Amino acid sequence: MPETTNPSLSEETVRQALQQVKFPGYSRDIISFGLVKSIVIGGTNDVAVTLQVTTRDAAVPSQLERDVRAALAAQAGIGRVEVEVITAQPAAPAPAPGVGGSGQPSAPPRVPGVKRIVAVASGKGGVGKSTVAVNLACALDQLEQRVGVMDADIYGPSVPKMMGSARKPTITDDKLDPVDQFGLKVMSMALLLDENAPVIWRGPMIMKAIQQFSLAVNWGALDVLVVDLPPGTGDAQLSLTQTLALDGGVIVTTPQDVALDVARRGMAMFEKVNVPILGIIENMSYYVCPHCHERDEIFGHGGARREAERMAVPFLGEIPLVTGIRVGGDNGEPIVVADRDGDVARAYRACAQAVLNQLQS
């Protein structure tokens, strides 16, 4: 008689073993990325696993196969293992009319109508990334650019609140119309969900959600789309870089060493997926007392500039720690709009100009 099936080997057990397999170079596992298409368990506990990956890196499929085999070999009670890795190139939407259409070979995937996509990232949360993204977008608008802001931070979307644009988007031709605010186009997952919903945006859904989300928006003609990425590990970044042709990444950091350390990781992440690093912005760089006008370098100003030099990436500018920045975020009117002629707006416009220079160079 054939060996009886070990009742303890369930699909769940296999899934748990596969959760140990990280996508090469990332801290997230292949289960939560939604890469495991099927798990078939045979009568003698033989296991066949099929993965589907979207990648341009030829080394990724074989690495994944090795890692899956190793993870399953470490799991007791599994018979023979078969691993199939189906690979696909990142989907390329039809190029937008008039954008990048000069007969250049192999145009990367593009969001229709959008000339440049710039992602704002940070290695960790709370450094003011969303605040920078929103104000940078408004500053680009003031530099005569047509600008959109896409909030890709599905865990903690904050762009609509900061932009005062919490209206539900309408739909035209099966696509979402972004909300118009201060002359910019704004789109956020938060606009589509009710308050308790973000909890469902986990693992496998993220890739699909961001993909559909970024491409299914009537952005119109934009010079720059600023994307606010979730902080940290790189899951949304990976999804985005597989979906969008990012023209560059901006890293936001505060000046302390610990923050710089994670900024370094952020840069490594962009490098890994071949997205040019446009540069570093130092947020909460210094504090000017509104009463005595004395300048205080609370976190040790200048760390980001030194780090940029060390990493040989551009330093884009510094933004002070100012109550008005926080108030602008809370009130839904970014300080760049609320106090257009102020020093802070000027500082953001300097960063925006530096970003444009990098995009052109």
Which residue ranges make up the site for ligand ATP (CB under 6 A)?
122, 125-131, 153, 156, 158, 231, 283-284, 319, 321-322, 325-326, 329
Q: How many other CB atoms are there within 10 angstroms of residue 161's CB atom?
A: 18
Distances (CA, A) of 176 to 14, 74, 212, 213, 218: 39, 46, 10, 9, 6
Select 100 or 126, whichever has its Cβ closest to ligand ATP. Answer: 126
Nearest distance from residue 140's CB to ligand ATP, in Å? Answer: 17
Find all residues with CB under 8 Å of 127, minimum gap 6, and list them. Answer: 231, 252, 253, 254, 259, 283, 284
Q: What is the DSSP string of 338-351?
A: HTTTSHHHHHHHHH
Alpha-carbon distance of 287 to 299, in angstroms, equals: 9
Report residue 141 as tokens: 């608008």
The region that residue 269 occupies, defined by phi over 0 for left and psi between -120 and 50 for alpha, beta otherwise, is alpha
Select 109 or 230, whichever has its Cβ closest to Mg ion. Answer: 230
Select 130 or 253, whichever has its Cβ closest to Mg ion. Answer: 130
Select 91 or 197, whichever has its Cβ closest to Mg ion. Answer: 197
Select 50 or 256, whichever has its Cβ closest to ligand ATP. Answer: 256
Task: Residue 283: name its binding partner from ligand ATP, Mg ion, none (Cβ under 5 to 8 Å by kind).
Answer: ligand ATP
Nearest distance from residue 352's CB to ligand ATP, in Å? Answer: 15
Q: Which residue is nearest to ligand ATP (CB)?
A: 125
- Residues 72-131 touching Mg ion, rule: CB under 5 A, are 130
**Do 30 and 36 touch, CB atoms closer than 8 A?**
yes
**Do 260 and 280 touch, CB atoms closer than 8 A?**
no
Nearest distance from residue 122's CB to Mg ion, in Å? Answer: 8
Select 26 or 155, whichever has its Cβ closest to ligand ATP. Answer: 155
Q: How many residues bind Mg ion (CB under 5 A)?
A: 2
Residue with tokens 């070979």: 105
Nearest distance from residue 200's CB to ligand ATP, in Å? Answer: 19
253 binds Mg ion (CB under 5 A): no
Task: Residue 176: name its binding partner from ligand ATP, Mg ion, none (Cβ under 5 to 8 Å by kind).
Answer: none
Nearest to residue 49, comparing CAs of 27, 25, 7, 21? 21
Site residues (vs Mg ion, CB under 5 A): 130, 158
